[in-house]
Chain A
């Protein structure tokens, strides 16, 4: 029987879940308070190298197939260089390389000259680095739209500008989602609404500990394409886009008060600190002009790890805790499995269940210092 699943949140995790469900023949409706992928899903660095995740092997299997599976371009490119400008960084990256190799992901230690042959904008002062023959990056904006269109191509429905106002329950199950367009009945619901997820779950008696923070990026005008455009280092994450622009982020974040509705996401003079680090890492690009900055709001769980779980019989939670874009091909697969079968078909994800936060102290944000600065 075909079930109707309502997915709250047209971010990359919700859309991937919708796509997996729709292509398996389920009726899906995706709700979003705004436009598809408007929040952190389209504002990140596009990285897809999250070796630590139990979803990573499946993600790596899927990424090279995604353009064909979705039918729309994602700009996925495999591989990455992480370049060190200091001995401390080099030691650190070498440790990471060993860790990657133990996990079965091909990684080389490379000399400075090879770093610069692969990513010619890198500094002559590069001490060396590591080359990942896995991972990679894609274009977040193009990818979120690809999931949305592919979901529609499988008969899924996407309702933009339609916030979920609340959940209706009967007999211990969620039976409908209330929206300004009316009540939408469902057999199951997926909560993938980023920072807004906790407020939706609270009335069900489900406590999802989340703290929202703002993070920033900058982008330059295009540079000639490098053989490996996914180059990290010097405290930065980012990539050269296939157009040639250098898009980089990193550095301090600003914790936000938890509030409903659209979060405020201004950028700050941190753009200057990012510009400095990009100019240090890629000095051959130092004359390139910065043409934009932006910020995104990221949701964080207390341990920084995802919550992928089905609770309350037919409520599935998809929270990626700030590392969602790259893993999205697999996170949607896992969440679709949870919706239909109650378990992930391709990986053990038990350590990502919500129950690990049972007994979490009420002041968990305060004890971590995860709250907004005193107003100036």
Chain B
């Protein structure tokens, strides 16, 4: 008979509580279309979308950079669901076709059998709403997670009113809950143009489009139309700081003048939302024309994980070939125009100086003399820059926003400091849960009995904890008899 270790994980992980032929993550245009197509093909389909996002998450800029410019409307989830259905009519079609639609539901973990995870009984997706988490099984998973905001910091970016273009689009278009009136838009590419057009359509003022390069980067006709509508387009710009008061941003300072505004919208770029796929171990590639790191896809859109496909913007953003170089130019301008104590990571209050100096966090108190001599340069002498290693030392990227607000700027700063081209910037991995989820929500309250029966603090090896002097004495047997299998409950 085969002997099994009672404290091993084998047989303890639960089966999913429900199973669907196809699960689609993300009810944007491509996700909803994929769900409809699967339903028309006679499949059982679950379509999940994290919108409406809980206000607590919005306040920590998850999943988009909302910059605390939400109105109180986001506090009423029922109204938000209505707004969502109104703004995405295709969802009605999906529902009529029998697609099970789960709104306000985030996909926080994807698990597929692989080396090191042989105990997983089936591929499964972890879901959570405001009150509970659960696991669902699938034959086919289509990830249509969209994109998130590219965030680069400058002095004053850590106050309400500094936000991302996707966060703004969500508050305006999806939630009708934007609290600003007058926006300075950073960037002049198509994302910035789209942002400006949307803002004007919602009756907002635009202080200017601000561009770091010498010429506007977007479609010429659309740029001209904005200029004709009275929107200033400033090129060769250097951004020095944002100033404001209790309600956040009031002014944006450029090299030689300032713009009055209550919102500064970063519309420099967007980043494929690969976190669910990356945390699951999907193979990635760097595609400079598609927004950076994207899943490596077969011709049919399948990722390296069997049965898992990626579509829409999480599979790559349509952009110009020099997307990464463009970002690097912005990052370089910000670095030159801002003092070294500019915050890079808001959650952990890490400054650019601390990051490049690989200095420990300030809450540890005065820094010992030896560490003052350590810098990124001394680390680079040991090998290429490793964002995960630097994250552990400085804590940049270790906070509750899960690195969404600093990941790209940390990568850009490290690449610049190490003299690496933008496409070789160090990448840091993603970890489940890819959304911050309260302990009580993530918890498995319906745990199968086998889990508790075979649970030990460590490996369930009583011999491991026998005091050295008692090894091979009668006292060892006594300890084992009294403490049982788990020597260290």
User: Which residues of A come within 8 Å of B, CB atoms?
Assistant: 35-36, 38, 42, 51-54, 67, 71-73, 75, 88-89, 92-93, 95-96, 99, 103, 141-142, 145, 148-150, 153, 158, 160-161, 213-215, 220-222, 232, 235-237, 242-243, 250-257, 259, 263-273, 275-276, 278-279, 285-295, 298, 300, 303-305, 321-323, 348, 351, 366-370, 372-376
Contact = CB atoms under 8 A, between A and B. Distances in A.
B312 interface: no
Interface in B440-458: 440, 442-445, 447, 451, 454-458
A75 B429 CA distance: 25
A91 to B, nearest CB: 9
Contact of A291 (B117, B119, B400): B400
13 contacts: A52-B468, A160-B383, A221-B436, A253-B8, A266-B281, A267-B432, A272-B133, A273-B451, A289-B436, A293-B431, A303-B464, A368-B5, A376-B118
Contacts of B348: 243
Given A73-B364, A289-B438, A293-B432, A221 B399 contact: yes
B443 A71 contact: no
B402 A375 contact: no
A269 B13 contact: yes
B438 A254 contact: no
A314 to B, nearest CB: 26
Contacts of A375: 113, 118
Given A268-B13, A304-B463, A252 B8 contact: yes
B455 A213 contact: no
A71 to B, nearest CB: 3
Contacts of B457: 232, 235-237, 250
B459 interface: yes
B370 A153 contact: yes
* Residue among B111, B386, B458 with most chain A CB within 10 A: B458
Nearest to A144: B392
B117 A268 contact: yes
Given A73-B371, A288-B439, A290-B433, A35 B389 contact: yes
Contacts of A279: 439-440, 443
B9 interface: yes
Contact of A276 (B3, B281, B445): B445
A366 B5 CA distance: 10
B264 interface: no
Nearest to A289: B436
B440 A376 contact: no
Contacts of A52: 464-468
Interface string B124-147: 101000000101000000000000
A236 B465 CA distance: 16
Contacts of B463: 303-305
B118 A243 contact: no
A273 to B, nearest CB: 5
Contacts of B389: 35-36, 38, 145
A287 B369 CA distance: 39
Nearest to B451: A273
A272 B11 contact: no
Nearest to B384: A161
A271 B451 contact: no
A145 to B, nearest CB: 6
B459 A269 contact: no
B114 interface: yes
* Residue among A148, A251, A373 with most chain B CB within 10 A: A373
B9 A235 contact: no
A142 B360 contact: yes
* Residue among B14, B388, B431, B436 with most chain A CB within 10 A: B431
A256 B114 CA distance: 11
The 5 closest A-B CB pairs, nearest first, are A304-B464, A71-B370, A264-B116, A276-B443, A289-B436
B111 A287 contact: no
* Residue among A160, A271, A279 with most chain B CB within 10 A: A271
Contact of B360 (A53, A73, A236, A293): A73
A99 B13 CA distance: 35
Contacts of B431: 267, 292-294
A358 to B, nearest CB: 15
B461 interface: yes
Nearest to B126: A269
Given A266-B281, A291-B436, A369-B5, A72 B467 contact: no
B455 A250 contact: yes
Interface string B464-488: 1111100110000001001100001
Nearest to B482: A95
Given A158-B382, A214-B116, A235-B489, A370 B364 contact: no
A272 B119 CA distance: 16
A290 B363 contact: no
Given A71-B369, A292-B431, A304 B459 contact: yes
Interface string B353-393: 00000001101100011110010000000111010110011
Given A52-B467, A269-B135, A252 B7 contact: yes
A287 B393 contact: no
Given A35-B383, A142-B392, A273-B455, 13 more contacts: A52-B466, A150-B370, A215-B458, A243-B363, A252-B456, A253-B9, A256-B116, A268-B119, A275-B442, A291-B436, A300-B459, A323-B464, A376-B113
A38 B383 CA distance: 13
A254 B12 CA distance: 11
Contacts of B133: 272
Interface string B1-22: 0111111111111100000000
A31 B126 CA distance: 39
A275 B128 CA distance: 13
* Residue among B7, B361, B482, B489 with most chain A CB within 10 A: B489
B120 to A, nearest CB: 6
Nearest to A322: B459
Contact of B364 (A75, A285, A287, A376): A75
Nearest to B10: A373
B352 interface: no
* Residue among A36, A272, A348 with most chain B CB within 10 A: A272
Given A52-B466, A252-B7, A304-B464, A287 B433 contact: no
Contacts of B455: 235, 250-252, 273
Contacts of B432: 267, 271, 293
Given A35-B383, A236-B457, A252-B455, A220 B13 contact: no
A270 B9 contact: yes
A374 B8 CA distance: 12
Contacts of B472: 351
B109 interface: yes
Contacts of A367: 3
A269 B464 contact: no
Given A235-B455, A235-B457, A253-B8, A290 B393 contact: no
Contact of A252 (B12, B111, B115, B466): B12
Nearest to A141: B392
B464 A250 contact: no
Nearest to B281: A266
A264 B281 CA distance: 10
Nearest to B402: A291
